[in-house]
Chains A and B, each alone.
Chain A
Amino acid sequence: MIDFELSEPTKNLRSMVHGVAESVMRPVSRRYDEEEHTIPWEFIDTMWQASRGSDAALLARKSDDGDGRPQERALQLAVSIEELSWGDAGIYLCMAGPGLGGAAVAAAGTPEQKKRFLARFREGKPKWAGMAITEPQCGSDSSAIQTTAMRDGDQWVLNGTKIFCTAGHKALLDSDGFVVVWATLDRSKGRAGIKAFVVEHGTPGISVAKLEKKLGIRASDTAMLILEDCRVPLDNVLGSADVPKTSEGFKGVMATFDATRPAVAASAIGIGRAAIDFLREAFDREGMPIRYGIAPAKLAAYERDFMEMETQLEAARLLTWRAAWMLDGGQRNNLEASMAKAKAGLAVTQITQKAVEMLGPLGYSRATLAEKWMRDAKINDIFEGTQQINMLIVARRILGYSSKELT
């Protein structure tokens, strides 16, 4: 039965998380934007204490680590992330937990690896796990990775440069975390040669070369990592070390994104909702009604714009919930996850840009958060697959084309 009502536990979770977003995140939102790369430890510690018990493989569809999966797990995550990002997207991204690196382990790791790498997220101090794919010369085309992995006895030796690794600094230097590094065993094999390697904190040969200064989400660390003869144990390669003839392994890791894209879409939606809520309050204050039900041709320009914004947001949320719901039901959601991400990333980029415009000087001023939301929003149209990559995935799926047939 079609139902758009969240379950009671999910509603409770939402209102609890919203409370945190409103009372803890919002008051410090501007501060961590202006003091770029300052780590909001207080928030991190509080949230770690509150959420540590939750499953490390939260994001992972293929998780089979024994815990029964609650029915609305991915949906609950989407709902929580929307609230947290309504509070502050940059600070949300600082939260400790398995993150993208953990999601990759859950998607591509063996049961033993899942246990070995994910157990830490249930105990001790806050920890992070980053995902290092992008390189200076390759972003969306992950198959063009230049970072190499060579076997030397009972170790892998990694060499290369990785950029745009979210929480890379926190994973390697601020906690007992790890980074999942994608590298090729054999460049001539293309995608089939690419494997993911877990590099633990404290491993010699990996260094954080710099933290990027960004348009938005400034609280979040975006690290450049340099690997120079970085040695990791043989069994740190996720899944099998065989170079198969097909690119199944690569696809397996790419499947991580089916789980993370709805989460990114949800973050976008949270930022968009912040902007819309702010705008609605401004209209209320100014005595500018939004008249639902009158002939559309009679709407004032501000009403039409506002309605367009809220409908776009709602559409993005429904697509996101659908992708999460499919994940919860164990259905393949590659198409739907990309649809949600493409829609939410673009819609919220446009919503927040429009909000700045509609607020006039008030929107452009750093005295309000509108301009920050616009800067924060843009990342969602870029990371975890750009708008264009997600459109490409949608196009391939609806047309039944392989990546060779539609390049």
Chain B
Amino acid sequence: MVSFDLSDDQKLLRDTIAAFAAGELRPLAHDADEAARIPDVVVAKAWELGLVQSAIPEAYGGFGDDRSAISGAIAAEELAYGDLAFALHVLAPRLLVYPLLDHGTDEQKQRWLPEFTGAAFRPATAAVVEPSMHFDLSALATTARADGGDWVLSGRKAFVPLGGSAEAILVYARRAGADGSADPLDGYRAVEAFLIDRSQAGVELRGPEKNMGVNALETYELALKDVRVPDTARLGGEGSIDFARLMNRSRIALGSLAVGVARAAYDYAREYAKERKAFGVAIAQKQAIAFLLAEMAIEIDAARLLVWQAGWKIDRGEEATRESYLAKNYAASMALKVADNAVQVLGGHGYIRDHPVELWLRNARGFSSFEGMAIV
């Protein structure tokens, strides 16, 4: 039966994270972007929210909470409302933990999951994006070649969050020889995931990268030069991972983060427009501005509902590639447009870094390039 109501747990989650985002993240966002660094103290506080630990089963020391894509979407939106770089940073360990929960062997889970249930933030990450204009999740250029029971990885990755500090990195690579077909899902089926150690031979991390936005997020480029790993480093055991499904989960997270950025920009622009006077009235009393704001409000809600609907399908265990893909792409364009409108509403002031809207515009632009950098 159709309902747009959050559960009580989801409302609590939303309110808790919203308070954290407003109280702890937003006030630091500007300086963190300028300094290209996130203060450790905030990361430690975020860890206490249990964003990573909650979905880890009690047997491994976690909270054993249900993992829901919609709840993940709610949390991501609220964090990004505070600041996108912080959000991507504190959520990064999920990039390793969640695929492990879905596809890890018992041995892999035993080895890694308890590491993420301690009192302190534990960095971890995944390498999905590749530094090429041809980058395509359905046709990864990084390859994994089977070789005498081992795998040999080669290729280049980019935008690896926490690449400077994460000990373990989950690397996604296409099985060598599995060439593309007309069906993009075949391209996804050809992908394997490997747990690698940063100190392994042939692994080279370069960074931090300098990007247009999310400056406070430390991202690295990763070069893999014939990195040899045993089959026990591969997720999926006897079978393989479900890369399409993992990326759908990622799209829910990224789409929600985009909604959060957009909502931040919209709220700021709306309040500014009610304060700023021109021709004797608040500029919000002019239809040219009021209609921009109305469109922003509608588009934010539309994108959120699309993302939730895709997340809802995932939570029901249904195939959701179409829905997740369309929702993420919609949310990405929406966030860019809304952030751009917010800069426009502030006029010249929007262009000045004293106001946060230009940061949101730079951050929002990233969503068309971001893949696999957050997950629910």
> Chain A: residues with CB nearer than 8 A to chain B?
1-7, 10, 71-72, 75, 289, 291-298, 307, 310-311, 314-316, 318-319, 321-322, 325-326, 339, 342-343, 388, 391-392, 394-396, 398-399, 401, 405-407
Contact = CB atoms under 8 A, between A and B. Distances in A.
B293 A295 contact: no
A405 B286 CA distance: 9
Contacts of B308: 2, 4
Contacts of B295: 391
Contact of B329 (A75, A296, A343, A401): A296
Contact of A398 (B135, B136, B297, B303): B297
B111 interface: no
B291 A325 contact: no
Given A293-B244, A394-B298, A307 B2 contact: no
Interface in B66-108: 70
Nearest to A307: B326
B330 A311 contact: yes
Contacts of B136: 294-295, 298
A5 B134 CA distance: 38
Interface string B162-198: 0000000000000000000011110110000000000
B183 to A, nearest CB: 8
A4 B312 contact: yes
20 contacts: A4-B309, A10-B2, A291-B182, A293-B185, A293-B325, A295-B136, A295-B139, A296-B329, A314-B306, A315-B306, A318-B306, A321-B4, A339-B301, A395-B290, A396-B290, A398-B270, A398-B297, A399-B274, A399-B284, A399-B293
B219 interface: no
Given A71-B1, A295-B138, A319-B298, A311 B312 contact: no
Contact of B137 (A295, A310, A316, A392): A295
Given A3-B312, A289-B182, A294-B184, A394 B297 contact: yes
Nearest to B322: A292
Nearest to B180: A294
Given A294-B138, A315-B330, A321 B321 contact: no
A2 B301 CA distance: 14
Contacts, number: 146
Nearest to B312: A4
A136 B10 CA distance: 51
Given A294-B184, A406-B287, 18 more contacts: A2-B308, A3-B1, A3-B312, A289-B183, A293-B185, A294-B137, A294-B138, A295-B137, A311-B329, A318-B306, A318-B309, A319-B298, A321-B4, A391-B294, A391-B295, A394-B294, A395-B294, A407-B285
B302 interface: yes
A396 B270 CA distance: 12
- In the A-B complex, the 3 residue pairs with the smallest Cβ-Cβ separation, listed nearest first, are A295-B136, A315-B302, A395-B290
Interface in B114-143: 133-139
B326 to A, nearest CB: 5
B305 A319 contact: yes
A297 B5 CA distance: 36
Nearest to A323: B4
Contacts of B199: none
Contacts of A10: 2
Given A293-B138, A295-B135, A3 B325 contact: no
Contacts of B7: 1-2
A394 B301 CA distance: 12
B368 interface: yes
A406 B184 CA distance: 49
Contacts of A310: 326
B278 interface: no
Contacts of B19: none
A56 B183 CA distance: 50
Contacts of B1: 3, 5-7, 71-72
Contact of B312 (A2, A6, A294, A296): A2
Interface in B291-343: 291, 293-295, 297-298, 301-303, 305-306, 308-309, 312, 321-322, 325-327, 329-330
Nearest to A9: B1
B255 to A, nearest CB: 12
B49 interface: no
Contact of B291 (A292, A307, A318, A391): A391
Contacts of A75: 2
B42 interface: no
B302 A319 contact: yes
A71 B5 CA distance: 14
A291 B298 contact: no
Interface string B351-376: 00000000000000000100000000
B284 A406 contact: yes
Contacts of A399: 270, 273-274, 284, 290, 293
Nearest to A340: B298
A405 to B, nearest CB: 6
B184 A292 contact: yes
A75 B301 CA distance: 19
Contacts of A321: 2, 4
Nearest to A398: B297
B17 to A, nearest CB: 17
A72 B2 contact: yes
Contacts of B70: 2
Given A314-B326, A391-B291, A5 B135 contact: no
A405 B285 CA distance: 6
Contacts of A4: 2, 308-309, 312
A318 B285 CA distance: 29
Interface in B1-23: 1-7, 10
B287 A395 contact: yes
A7 B305 CA distance: 19
B207 to A, nearest CB: 23
B305 A318 contact: yes
B246 to A, nearest CB: 12
Given A293-B138, A311-B326, A339-B297, A6 B2 contact: yes
Contacts of A295: 134-139
Contacts of A296: 329, 368
B317 to A, nearest CB: 13
Contacts of A5: 1-2
Contacts of A315: 302-303, 305-306, 330
Contacts of B133: 297
A314 B302 CA distance: 9
Contacts of B244: 293
B302 A401 contact: no
Central interface residue in A289, A391, A395, by most chain B CB within 10 Å: A395
B291 A322 contact: no
Contacts of A311: 306, 326-327, 329-330
B36 to A, nearest CB: 28
Given A2-B3, A314-B326, A292 B285 contact: no
A280 B138 CA distance: 23
